[in-house]
């Protein structure tokens, strides 16, 4: 399972750094045609869960007391307790400056959050094309910067039901990157990439700084959009 904390801006636990794929974060300078890169494992490593119906999801919050009442065994089970506690940290940590965030428990909540955060009634989801090339070296092909001023990122976290941590950060850019097989130079995938242009408000302990050997505000941190991640943008380019 991919370590919780990889994308929790300001929420990373230092103890999780050793479990994060070293290629999870990279510098924006690598996003140029002809670069050789290592692609993280894009496959969904969380158990398959379904969203709750919106009528049920609205009845409780993602806090320990509510989950203890509804799913007591999950919080007692050593195999799931730590993962749930990590999710609770994400969902209940105050947002960063200029960040809008929510932990959504239903598909309706996800779409409504995206519309409210972006400020439009018409949004479309984007994600990586497939998982081909996962865990392998590849050559960067065509790189397309998407022309959206506001991008909502949704990352799946672990609870007894499908839960996504969705947020909008300012100064975020999205790219569609063609992945080429090194020997044949043939395209095998188109992977979405998110780059955070301003990391000055992130925790110094964030995994990105450990991997990039940098510190807040001194590096642009880019990461892959995995199989179970979603981006929401306006239906019309800005």
18 within domain boundaries? no
Alpha-carbon gap, residue 193 to 42, rounded angstroms: 12
Q: Give yes or no for residue 63 having a pLDDT over 50.
A: yes
Residue range 151-208, pLDDT digits in tens: 999 999 999 999 999 999 889 999 999 999 999 999 999 999 999 999 998 888 888 8
12 within domain boundaries? no
In this structure, is residue 6 part of a structural domain?
Answer: no
Tokens of 208: 């990105």
Model pLDDT, residue 10 = 43
Is 119 among the domain residues? yes
Please enumerate in sequence order all residues whose Cβ is within 8 A of that of 36, keeping only pairs 6 or more positions apart, or say none.
137, 138, 139, 140, 182
Cα angle 177, 178, 179; round to 5:
110
Cα angle, residue 152 at apex, residues 217 and 82 outer, rounded to 5°: 80
Nearest CA among 167, 165, 126, 159 for reference residue 50: 159
What are the backbone angles phi and psi of residue 163, rounded to the nearest 5°?
-140, 135
Separation CA 46–CA 106 (nearest Å)? 17
| Structural domain harbouring 80 | 24-234
**Has residue 209 been placed in a domain?**
yes
Q: What is the pLDDT confidence band of residue 238, given thresholds at 50, 70 and 90?
A: low
> What is the per-residue pLDDT across 106-134, written as a single tens digit (0 to 9) for each?
999 999 999 999 999 999 999 999 999 99
Structural domains counted in the chain? 1
Percent with pLDDT over 90 in the chain: 61
Q: How many CA atoms are closer than 13 Å to the CA of 147, on its beta-carbon side? A: 3
- pLDDT of 18 > 90? The answer is no
CB 193 within 8 A of CB 224: yes
State the average pLDDT over residues 225-236.
90
15 domain residue, yes or no: no
Instruction: Tell me: pLDDT of 97 over 90.
Output: no
Confidence of residue 1 (pLDDT cuts 50, 70, 90): very low
Q: Could you report the per-residue pLDDT of 135-159, keeping only the tens digit for each?
A: 999 999 999 999 998 999 999 999 9
Q: Is residue 88 part of a domain?
A: yes
With respect to residue 195, please indicate whether it lies within any of the assigned structural domains.
yes
The reported pLDDT for the residue numbered 106 is 95
């Amino acid at each position: 399972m991919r370590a919780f904390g990889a994308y929790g801006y300001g929420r990373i636990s230092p103890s999780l750094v050793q479990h994060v794929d070293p290629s999870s974060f990279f510098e924006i300078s690598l996003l140029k045609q002809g670069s050789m890169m290592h692609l993280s494992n894009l496959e969904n490593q969380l158990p398959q869960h379904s969203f709750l119906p919106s009528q049920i999801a609205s009845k409780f919050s993602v806090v320990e007391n509510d989950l203890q009442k509804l799913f007591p065994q999950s919080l007692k089970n050593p195999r799931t307790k730590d993962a749930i506690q990590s999710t609770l940290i994400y969902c209940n940590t105050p947002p960063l400056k200029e960040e809008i965030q929510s932990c959504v428990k239903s598909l309706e909540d996800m779409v409504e959050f995206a519309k409210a955060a972006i400020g439009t009634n018409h949004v479309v989801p984007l994600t990586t094309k497939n998982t081909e090339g996962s865990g392998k070296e590849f050559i960067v092909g065509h790189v397309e910067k998407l022309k959206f001023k506001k991008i909502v990122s949704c990352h799946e976290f672990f609870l007894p039901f499908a839960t996504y941590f969705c947020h909008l950060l300012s100064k975020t850019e999205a790219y569609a990157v063609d992945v080429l097989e090194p020997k044949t130079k043939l395209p095998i995938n188109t992977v979405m990439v998110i780059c955070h242009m301003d990391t000055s408000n992130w925790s110094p302990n964030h995994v990105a700084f450990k991997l990039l050997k940098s510190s807040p505000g001194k590096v642009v941190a880019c990461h892959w959009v995995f199989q179970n991640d979603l981006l929401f943008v306006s239906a019309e380019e800005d």
